[in-house]
């Protein structure tokens, strides 16, 4: 027997089990709207009167289980009462599910996020499907909010408070196998047996998982100890004035047993906050970037990368990790070997010791010193040193060997695409696919359009970027494109401050206090001082003579930053050794950031990016610009430094919006 609601479908089988399939009406993805929650509550109420032998909840959509609450409804909240009503609706519904007299089970295939995981936690059992798309997470903190429908209570009770807090405070997800290992899932099964596994478990009578004694103590009498440690760890990553949500999660768990409804003081500072509004804006910016790769024709399967240095080798390694067959070309196998070794380390880390999976992935990365793979590739990426004539000569050779429909791309960071493309018989084929270092960590990739570029080639390039799980940022060919054009002036101003006698630690602390993830001096050390000088010459030409003298002296002495163990800082174990910062002069962060703000606006004015939203997106995801601000131009629109200080924006910053 089948009963259908607008967003749910109920099937009762001959054994007395009820199968409840979620199928959000007129949507590609399941999200828990107010309407869907109201229907679920009515369904559960009906089951109370006529209980099934067991209830299995699954998704009728191939796109995943449940992607969370409807974020559009969240953004429409305009007062604390509306926010409380939203929380109360989900809290009440999931408590009814958790209190059911019959056994309940969540059958999780694909993404299970936010409110979706909170629903699964309210079930007695969870079966997860072992396939690449299955991922479980409570990512609310990334939107500046907290899990309000029971997740802060049920997750620590299920897997222990330390691990639960780590997942909630970072928004990190777990795959199906790890979910089973940590106790978040009762079973991890392949797709072909998922329904049988769910059927057997829901009527098994198995006792729900119980935490070990010590974990129960940490969840009870020793809560204060866990909470104190969690606050210290959170404070080492973010500052409460920038990101209040992580600290609210800790307090709500410690003081109210995870009950968001009882935590009125903590919740009042979360919902409706400017941070939450800005982080939701960042979420939509990310979704917009993802959309640029949706209309490419076909999915690339074979990639050929020329240049096995750090950048080229890491691009090749990442493409293989995302399932593509990759050929990596350089002058000899010996030059390629270090890139293969780095890839092996990356795969060991990603697959958490699953040697078989790491080996299969490494098998897709093929050393190709003769460049035979170019003839078969869907995408060819050049990542050799920044020399115009060398690149022109290489592309002449590649064009002769490549398939007519292959994407020809350069990873140049500073040369004009038009100058490189002039070497091709068909210059319109060349596009820029500009990655950032470290490739595995940076989400943004600039897709660069030169004059006269083929629109179809650009679409295929963007589709490739999405296929490797990166964010494509469309930009026009111009010095530095977007990211380097704004980051260069920022780093240069920071180094000028050091040149004037301000300690590097003080400069970095000023920007960390603003909300940047890394100080600009440490960033220069990380990028490499020689690369900073070379990029400056390529981007600024004769103006490179104005580079800070100390920077030039350090490069001349071979003190190139992190990679040499010494730059502006001494580096040990991959970390900068810093002295105490001391007091930060007033206005220092404003001085260093003003060139960045001006450059971002200039990129919009000159058409490097099509609008301010895309400028904000690129600078956030390409440089790490403080996400809680919503991006540099959004920061200016909200008053910039003047808003922080309660006065009118200083002329230097205000000018950034008009130049």
Which sign, positive or negative, has the C-alpha torsion 89, 90, 96, 99? negative
Beta bridge partner(s), residue 9: 4, 21
Catalytic residue among 30, 413, 477, 634: 413
Alpha-carbon span 389 to 423, nearest angstrom? 9
Angle of CA points 584, 585, 589, to nearest 5°: 80
Q: Are strands 379-382 and 407-410 parallel, antiparallel or unpaired?
A: parallel
Give me the DSSP letters along 473-514: EEEES-TTTTHHHHHHHHHHHHHHHHHTT--HHHHHHHHHHH
d(CA 289, CA 444): 9
Let me know how long the chain is: 659
Beta strands 173-175 and 111-113, pairing class = unpaired
DSSP state at residue 208: P
What string of DSSP letters covers 401-456?
A: HS-TTSEEEE--SSS-HHHHHTTSSSGGGEEEEE--SSTTT--EEEEEE-TT--HH
Quote the CA–CA distance of 527 and 529 in Å, as a whole number.
7
**What's the CA gap between 589 and 582, in Å, rounded?**
15
**Of 187, 484, 505, 522, which residue is the catalytic one?**
484
634 part of the active site:
no
Distance of CA 443 to the CA centre of its chain: 6
523: which 2 tokens? 């960033």
484 in active site: yes
φ, ψ for residue 588, nearest 5 deg: -65, -45
Cis peptide before 160 (omega within 30 of 0): no
Mapping DSSP to helix (H, G, I), strand (E, B) and coil, where does residue 379 land?
strand
- Which residue in 153, 150, 161, 154 sits closest to 212, CA to CA? 161
How many DSSP H helices and E strands does the chain contain? 29, 20
CB atoms within 10 A of CB 402: 21
Q: Find out whether 73 and 35 touch, Cβ atoms under 8 Å.
A: no
The CA distance from 45 to 537, in Å, is: 70
Ramachandran angles phi, psi of 653, nearest 5°: -80, -40
Catalytic residue chosen out of the listed positions 140, 446, 505, 590: 446
| Helices marked H in 482-611 | 483-499, 504-514, 520-527, 529-540, 549-556, 588-605
Residues acting as catalytic residues: 413, 434, 446, 484
């Amino acid at each position: 027997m089948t009963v259908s609601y607008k967003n749910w479908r109920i099937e009762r089988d001959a054994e007395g089990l009820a199968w409840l399939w979620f199928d959000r009406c007129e949507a590609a993805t399941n999200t828990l709207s107010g309407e869907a929650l109201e229907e679920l509550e009515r369904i559960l109420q009906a089951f109370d009167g006529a209980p099934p032998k067991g209830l299995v909840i699954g998704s009728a959509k191939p796109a995943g289980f449940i992607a969370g609450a409807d974020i559009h409804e969240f953004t429409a909240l305009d007062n604390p009462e509306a926010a409380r009503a939203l929380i109360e609706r989900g809290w009440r519904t999931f408590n009814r599910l958790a209190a059911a007299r019959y056994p309940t089970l969540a059958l999780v295939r694909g993404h299970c996020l936010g409110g979706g995981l909170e629903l699964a936690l309210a079930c007695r059992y969870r079966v997860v499907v072992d396939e690449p798309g299955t991922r479980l997470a409570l990512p609310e903190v990334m939107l500046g909010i907290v899990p309000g429908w029971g997740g802060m209570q049920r997750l620590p009770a299920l897997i222990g408070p330390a691990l639960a807090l780590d997942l909630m405070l970072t928004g990190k997800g777990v795959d199906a196998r790890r979910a089973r290992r940590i106790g978040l899932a009762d079973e991890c099964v392949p797709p072909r047996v998922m329904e049988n596994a769910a059927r057997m478990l829901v009527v098994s009578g198995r006792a729900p998982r119980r935490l070990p004694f010590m974990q129960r103590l940490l969840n009870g009498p020793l809560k204060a100890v866990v909470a104190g440690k969690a606050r210290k760890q959170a404070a080492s990553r973010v500052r409460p004035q920038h990101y209040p949500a992580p600290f609210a999660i800790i307090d709500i768990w410690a003081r109210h047993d995870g009950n968001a409804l009882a935590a009125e003081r903590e919740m009042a500072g979360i919902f409706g906050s400017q941070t939450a509004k800005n982080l939701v804006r960042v979420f939509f910016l990310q979704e917009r970037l993802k959309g640029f790769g949706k209309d490419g024709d076909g999915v690339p399967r074979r990639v050929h990368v020329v240049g096995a240095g750090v950048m080229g080798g890491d691009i090749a390694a990442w493409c293989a990790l995302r399932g593509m067959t990759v050929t990596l070309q350089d002058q000899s196998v010996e030059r390629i070997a270090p890139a293969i070794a780095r890839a092996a380390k990356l795969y060991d880390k990603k697959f958490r010791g699953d040697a078989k999976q790491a080996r299969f992935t490494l098998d897709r990365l093929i050393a190709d010193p003769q460049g035979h793979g170019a003839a078969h590739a869907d995408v060819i990426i050049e990542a050799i040193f920044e020399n115009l004539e060398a690149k022109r000569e290489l592309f002449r050779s590649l064009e002769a060997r490549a398939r007519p429909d292959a994407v020809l791309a350069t990873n140049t960071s500073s040369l004009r695409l038009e100058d490189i493309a002039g070497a091709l018989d068909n210059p319109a084929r060349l596009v820029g696919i500009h990655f950032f270092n470290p490739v595995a960590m940076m989400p943004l990739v600039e897709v660069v359009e030169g004059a006269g570029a083929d629109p179809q080639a650009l679409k295929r390039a963007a589709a490739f970027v999405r296929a490797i799980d990166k964010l494509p940022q469309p930009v026009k060919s111009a010095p530095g494109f977007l990211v380097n054009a704004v980051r260069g002036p920022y780093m240069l101003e920071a180094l000028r401050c050091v040149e004037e006698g301000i300690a590097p630690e003080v400069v970095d602390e000023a920007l960390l206090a603003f909300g940047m993830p890394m100080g600009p001096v440490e960033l220069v050390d990380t990028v490499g001082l020689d690369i900073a000088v070379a990029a400056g010459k390529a981007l600024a030409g004769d103006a490179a003579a104005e580079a800070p003298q100390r920077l030039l002296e350090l490069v001349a002495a071979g003190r190139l930053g992190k990679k040499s163990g010494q730059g502006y800082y001494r580096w040990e174990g991959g970390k900068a050794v810093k002295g105490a910062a001391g007091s930060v002069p007033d206005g220092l962060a404003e001085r260093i950031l003003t060139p960045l703000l001006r450059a971002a606006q200039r990129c919009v004015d000159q058409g490097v990016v099509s609008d301010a939203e895309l400028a904000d997106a690129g600078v956030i995801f390409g440089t790490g610009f403080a996400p809680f601000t919503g991006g540099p131009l959004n920061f200016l629109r909200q008053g910039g430094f003047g808003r922080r200080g309660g006065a009118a924006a200083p002329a230097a910053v205000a000018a950034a919006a008009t130049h």
